Amino acid sequence: MSLVFNTLPGKIAVSALLIVNLTACQTAAPVVPSNSGAAQPTAHNNFNSVLWYQTSAEFRANAIQTYRQATDLLSKAKSDPSWTVWPQTNAANLPAAIIVDIDETILDNSPAAAQDVLTNAAFSDASWDRWVSLAKADAVPGAVAFVNAAEAMGIKVLYISNRACTVRAGDNRTCPQKDDTLNNLKAVGIQQISAAQLWLKAEQADWSSEKESRRQLAMQSYRVIMSVGDDFGDFLPNVKKNITPAQRAALVDQYQTHWGSRFFMLPNPTYGSWDTILNQPKQQYLRGF
C-alpha cells in the first residue's frame, strides 16, 4: 500500500496517524505456529479402521465378551446331543467340535494392515505371505483361553481358514503357510493342536474362499456345536458376492437365535466381505440426515 502525503499540516498529521495504526494492526496480527515438521494424518482408506482395531478398549472388550459367552456355553452345547450349528443327520452319534476362523478371530494380523497404512501401500499377496511367514501374530483377546477350554473338555477345534496354500520361491513344501500358521498358533499358547486340524484355502482342489465345502466335510465326522469368525462367510454360504447389504441383513435376522449361542462374531472393520460386496462408488451406501 502507498500513501500520498498532502502538504497541509493537518493532513500530514492524519496521514501519519493512519500509518501508525496500520503498522500496529500488522504487528498485532496473531502468528500461526508452523506445523510443517509434525506428522500429518495419513490419507490411507484403512487408517481409522486399523487404528480402532489396534488401540480401542472397545475392540478388546468386545472380543473378551464374545469369547466369554462362547466359553460359558461349551458344557451345555456338548452335553446336548441335539445341539448343532447347521442341520446335521446322525449328529447325536458324532463327537462334538467347534469351527473357528483364524485371521482376526484367533490371530491378530493388524500389524500387516498397519504396515500398509504406514507405507501407503495397497494389500498384496506378496506382503501378506511375508507376514504369514514370520509367524509373529498375537492372539485376539480371549481366543486362546476359549480354545484351550474347549480342547480340555474333549471338544475338537477345527481351524477353517482362507489363508491360502501357495508355493514360495526356494521352498519345496506344498503349503509352507500351514507350517507357519501352526507355529504361530502354538506360540500364542494354544496347547492341543495338530496340522490335521488346520484346513487352509486351496489345500484341496475344492477348498475355495467359499468355506461351505469344508464345513460340510467337518459335519461328516463331527457334531459341530459352534462357529466363531469375523466375517459373515464364516457362518453361511453364498454371502460374499452377488448379494446386497439388505439381503445380508435379512439373513442375520433369519438366524437371530444363532447369534450368541451357535454363531459368535468378532468385529473386523479393516477388511472382509462387508466391504467387497459393495459397488462403486461406495458413498452411495451412506445415509445422511
- Nearest residue to 171 (alpha-carbon basis) of 163, 180, 162: 180
Residue 32 or residue 269, greater confidence = 269
Contacts of 19 (CB under 8 A, 6+ apart): 3
Distance CA 268, CA 289 (A): 26
- The pLDDT assigned to 136 comes to 99
Please determine, for residue 182, whether its predicted confidence score (pLDDT) is greater than 90.
Answer: yes
Range of lowest pLDDT (39-43, 80-84, 132-136, 282-286): 39-43
Please determine, for residue 176, whether its predicted confidence score (pLDDT) is greater than 70.
Answer: yes
Chain-centroid distance of CA 62 in Å reads 13
Above pLDDT 90, what percent of the chain?
84
- The pLDDT assigned to 193 comes to 98
The pLDDT tens digits for 49-77 are 999 999 999 999 999 999 999 999 999 99
- The pLDDT assigned to 42 comes to 55
Rounded mean pLDDT of the chain?
90
Please determine, for residue 180, whether its predicted confidence score (pLDDT) is greater than 50.
Answer: yes
Domain positions in the chain are: 50-285
The pLDDT tens digits for 80-97 are 999 999 999 999 999 999
Domain 50-285: CATH superfamily is HAD superfamily/HAD-like (3.40.50.1000)
- The pLDDT assigned to 39 comes to 54
Please determine, for residue 270, whether its predicted confidence score (pLDDT) is greater than 50.
Answer: yes
The pLDDT tens digits for 225-257 are 999 999 999 999 999 999 999 999 999 999 999
Mean pLDDT over residues 169-174, rounded? 93
